[in-house]
């Protein structure tokens, strides 16, 4: 090896040794592949990692962290961590994905027997819609994630970018059969009340029961609601905009 | 000269596109939650680059199999393919300092290698042109050889380039070993 190259090997060696010394005091900036989730932000590298091994499950289940797999979170799956006790935590969990990142991987349901039922493991929601639901969970949900539901809402109303809100914004009574537009769309309530009461209409939050709206659904015009009233919403009113009846 | 520059630009553009494609592959794999490729691409890419150094050993006659010219071609291609594979290994993960320093050194070595290739090609072309000119002048083979010995400008440039290329290679080698050991220390096998 030439003298010049040897010199640079020595210099490189010094750089590596410097990194090593700094890394002993501050390992994260040098070796961490990403920020830890906020719940793990106070853990040190050696709390979880063992030299030259994948993170052992014992690191997670120590008394001060997750004894018996307890995470302090309300789980939607019955006795989940009791069932998987002794299994590899990293099969389902990960980290170093960022402070706010989701650290539970999507469950692979393909390994389950075909006759397994969702409710054998999952605790279903207790709202009126789910309690009254007659069909299979798979009618509305996939196995990748419970939310968002795969329920075809477009059939009843297209959720465009302006309508991507939480379910209870419109379905504010706990029943998914009832809804109201008035939690977002401003009206002069007094005017609406009097105008509808004159006609004997009391459930005027259910706008589409009488009015029709035309929306652009992925490039095609689609109409929702019933054109019982020949005035009101855009696309149906005879030259009268929906805003016009706010007075 | 124009041909050399045009070829060089074509090579650089092709490599840039390949590099972008490599990073795109990693982003796609990451999107689909594929993890196993990190170790595989890391080991494969590093091995290719390490094997490419066999050219230096052949040049120094540490072994005699194959011609130096063919070993140079192997050096170039193994280094290019190895670098592209290591870009798939890296993707867009620039969080930890050690891998980032190693990546910067690898890309510096790569660019330096391309520059060395350009110098080598220029030297070869210049020699060929000079030889043809001397032949046309009616010089004998002996006279041509004497004249050619005087043409050292580009070769000197190559020698000067080696003075820069080899230290970067030395630093890269050490940082690669350090990165591999630290990654395996925390991530396991």
pLDDT in tens, A165-208: 877 788 877 677 778 887 877 666 667 777 777 878 877 777 88
Put simply, the answer to whether A52 touches B167 (Cβ < 8 Å) is: no
Q: Which residues on B lie below 8 Å from A48 (Cβ)?
A: none
Put simply, the answer to whether B174 touches A54 (Cβ < 8 Å) is: no
Put simply, the answer to whether A53 touches B186 (Cβ < 8 Å) is: no
Put simply, the answer to whether B182 touches A34 (Cβ < 8 Å) is: no
The pLDDT score that the predictor gives to residue A242 is 43
- Interval A78-125: pLDDT, tens: 777 777 777 888 888 889 989 988 888 877 787 777 777 888 788 878
Which residues does B22 contact at the CB level (< 8 Å), separation at least 6?
B84, B85, B87, B88
* Residue A186 vs residue A160, higher pLDDT: A160
Q: What is the mean pLDDT of chain A?
A: 79
| CA distance linking residue B127 with residue A239, whole number of Å | 85
Q: Quote the ipTM score.
A: 0.80
Distance from CA of A65 to the nearest CA of B (A): 20
Put simply, the answer to whether A29 touches B97 (Cβ < 8 Å) is: yes
The pLDDT score that the predictor gives to residue A221 is 79
Confidence tier at B1 by pLDDT (50, 70, 90): low
- Interval B41-84: pLDDT, tens: 999 999 999 999 999 899 888 888 889 889 999 999 999 999 99
- Rg, chain A, Cα only: 29
Distance from CA of A88 to the nearest CA of B (A): 15
The pLDDT score that the predictor gives to residue A51 is 93
Q: Which residues on A lie below 8 Å from B163 (Cβ)?
A: 4
Chain B's closest residue to A35, CA to CA, is B95
The pLDDT score that the predictor gives to residue A74 is 67
| CA distance linking residue A238 with residue B4, whole number of Å | 73
Distance from CA of A44 to the nearest CA of B (A): 12
Does residue A104 sit in helix, strand or coil?
A: strand
The pLDDT score that the predictor gives to residue B99 is 96
Distance from CA of A59 to the nearest CA of B (A): 13
Put simply, the answer to whether A31 touches B174 (Cβ < 8 Å) is: no
Chain B's closest residue to A53, CA to CA, is B188
> How much of chain A exceeds pLDDT 90, in percent?
17
What are the strands, taking DSSP E only, across chain A?
A: 212-217, 220-225
Chain A residues with CB-CB distance to B under 8 A? 2, 4-5, 7-9, 11-13, 15-16, 19-20, 23, 29-35, 45, 49-55, 96, 105-106
Confidence tier at A1 by pLDDT (50, 70, 90): low
Distance from CA of B94 to the nearest CA of A (A): 8
| CA distance linking residue A11 with residue A211, whole number of Å | 79
| CA distance linking residue B151 with residue B42, whole number of Å | 43
The pLDDT score that the predictor gives to residue B158 is 82
Q: Indicate if the pLDDT at residue B30 is higher than 50.
A: yes
Interface of B with A in 61-90 (CB under 8 A): none
CB nearest to B93's CB, from A9, A12, A33: A33
Q: Indicate if the pLDDT at residue A22 is higher than 70.
A: yes
How far is residue B146 from each of residues B117, B136, B158, measured CA to CA in Å? Answer: 26, 16, 21
Which residues does B60 contact at the CB level (< 8 Å), separation at least 6?
none
Q: Indicate if the pLDDT at residue A238 is higher than 50.
A: no
- Interval A27-44: pLDDT, tens: 999 999 999 999 898 899
Q: Which residues on B lie below 8 Å from A45 (Cβ)?
A: 186
Q: Indicate if the pLDDT at residue A216 is higher than 80.
A: no
The pLDDT score that the predictor gives to residue B83 is 93
Put simply, the answer to whether A15 touches B175 (Cβ < 8 Å) is: yes
Q: Indicate if the pLDDT at residue B98 is higher than 90.
A: yes
Confidence tier at B180 by pLDDT (50, 70, 90): very high
């Amino acid at each position: 090896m030439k003298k010049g190259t040897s010199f640079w090997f020595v210099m490189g060696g010094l750089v590596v040794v410097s990194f090593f010394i700094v890394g002993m005091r501050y390992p994260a900036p040098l070796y961490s592949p990403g920020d830890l989730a906020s719940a793990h932000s106070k853990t040190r590298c050696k709390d979880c990692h063992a030299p030259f091994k994948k993170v052992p499950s014992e690191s997670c289940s120590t008394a001060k962290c997750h004894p018996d797999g307890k995470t302090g979170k309300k789980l939607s799956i019955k006795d989940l961590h009791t069932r998987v006790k002794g299994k590899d935590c990293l099969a389902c969990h990960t980290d170093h994905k960022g402070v706010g990142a989701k650290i539970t991987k999507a469950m692979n349901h393909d390994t389950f027997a075909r006759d397994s039922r969702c409710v054998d493991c999952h605790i279903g929601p207790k709202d009126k819609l789910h309690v009254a639901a007659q069909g299979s969970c798979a009618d509305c949900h996939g196995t990748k994630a419970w939310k968002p539901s795969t329920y075809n809402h477009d059939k009843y109303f297209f959720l465009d970018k302006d309508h991507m809100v939480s379910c209870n914004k419109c379905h504010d009574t706990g029943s998914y059969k009832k809804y109201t537009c008035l939690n977002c769309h401003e009206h002069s309530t007094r005017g609406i009340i009097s105008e509808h009461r004159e006609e004997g209409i009391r459930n005027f939050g259910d706008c589409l029961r009488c009015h029709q709206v035309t929306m652009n659904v992925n490039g095609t015009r689609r109409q929702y609601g019933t054109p019982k009233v020949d005035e009101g919403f855009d696309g149906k009113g005879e030259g009268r905009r929906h805003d016009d009846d706010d007075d | 000269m124009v041909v050399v520059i045009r070829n060089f630009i074509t090579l650089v553009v092709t490599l840039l596109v390949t590099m972008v494609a490599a990073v795109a592959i990693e982003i796609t794999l990451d999107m689909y939650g594929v993890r196993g490729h990190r170790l595989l691409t890391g080991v494969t890419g590093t091995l290719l680059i390490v094997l490419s150094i066999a050219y230096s050993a052949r040049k120094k006659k540490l072994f005699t199999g194959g011609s130096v010219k063919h070993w140079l071609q192997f050096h170039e291609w193994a280094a290019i393919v190895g670098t592209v594979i290591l870009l798939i290994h890296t993707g867009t993960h620039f969080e930890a300092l050690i891998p980032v320093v190693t990546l910067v050194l690898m890309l510096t070595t790569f660019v330096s290698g391309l520059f060395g290739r350009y110098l080598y090609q220029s030297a070869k072309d210049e020699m060929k042109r000079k030889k043809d000119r001397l032949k046309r002048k009616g010089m004998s083979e002996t006279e041509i050889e004497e004249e050619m010995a005087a043409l050292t400008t580009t070769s000197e440039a190559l020698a000067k380039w080696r003075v820069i290329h080899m230290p970067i290679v030395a630093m890269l080698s050490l940082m690669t070993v350090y990165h591999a050991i630290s990654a395996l220390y925390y991530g396991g096998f």
